[in-house]
Amino acid sequence: MKTLIKSAIVAGICILAAGGANAATQPYSDTQQVTKFGSTFTFSQFNSSLGTLTAVDLIINSSVSGGNFSVSRGATGAIGTNGTVSLFTQKLSVEDSDGNPIFTGPVQSLTFSGINSIPRSTTRIFTIDPSQSILATSPSNPISIGSSPWSIFIGTSTVDLNATVTPEATVTSGLGLAPNYDNSTALTTLTLRYTYSTDPSPVPEPGQVAASLLLLGGIGGYVFIKRRRKPAVATA
């Protein structure tokens, strides 16, 4: 009997707990070579028929730098003064399809190879070390996207995120130096992650509450009546 009562109480509690939200995540990834002209990453939108969206995060995996850049020197300036390249940097930026910034990475110094002395009327090409990442951490921590632009992520179609590499070389000593970064790239993986509740109404239905209370009340009444009964006393 005690086992039966315990089972019934557990069942009642389970009914009261029914309707709780179950969290789930849904990631979409895309990998591309990002350039200074920008690259478009296309992801599926969150289908609201799955539940209620609770978080949108962007995860950026190692953006490995690559390609090259060039610096040209015009015919102006003193004959004996050559131009030089002393530093090359890149950073990665990501915007949503409305142009709102989501991520702007730190400026990272990268190593490169090439003859850094640039005489007049000369173009030098500098190769970027392809083993370097232009992110401070790899992979980066998830970047939380605020709720205000979530509308563009909800639907049954796709959403675009635009990533751009910003390269810059430090050129000194000489007039007419013109850098070109068209071949500067970064291999980048973007992962868009949706977290959502599979039950947008975690509060139990009134019928569930009534059934639970009725069940528990019936059990209590049965136990009360049972305890009031006294066993019959045998007479000689």
The model's pLDDT over 58-86, given as tens digits with 9 standing for 90+, comes to: 999 999 999 999 999 887 666 667 889 99
CB distance 155 to 41 below 8 Å? no
Short-list 63, 59, 43, 25, CA closest to 166: 63
DSSP annotation of 84: E
Q: How far is CA 148 from CA 29, 41, 119, 144, 205, in A?
A: 22, 21, 53, 12, 31
pTM of the model: 0.73
Q: What's phi and psi for 202, nearest 5 deg? A: -70, -10
Angle at 180 between CA 122 and CA 70, to 5 degrees: 45
Place of tokens 């019936």: 218
- Quick: pLDDT tens for 140-164: 789 999 887 899 999 999 999 999 9
The residue ranking higher by pLDDT, 221 or 64, is 64
Q: How far apart are CA 150 and CA 193, in angstroms?
A: 12
Q: Name the residue ranges covered by the structural domains of the chain.
A: 1-19+202-216, 21-200
Residue 231 — pLDDT band, cuts 50, 70, 90?
low
pLDDT of residue 138: 64
- Quick: pLDDT tens for 104-134: 999 999 999 999 889 888 999 999 999 999 9
The residue ranking higher by pLDDT, 176 or 130, is 130
Short-list 55, 46, 165, CA closest to 110: 165
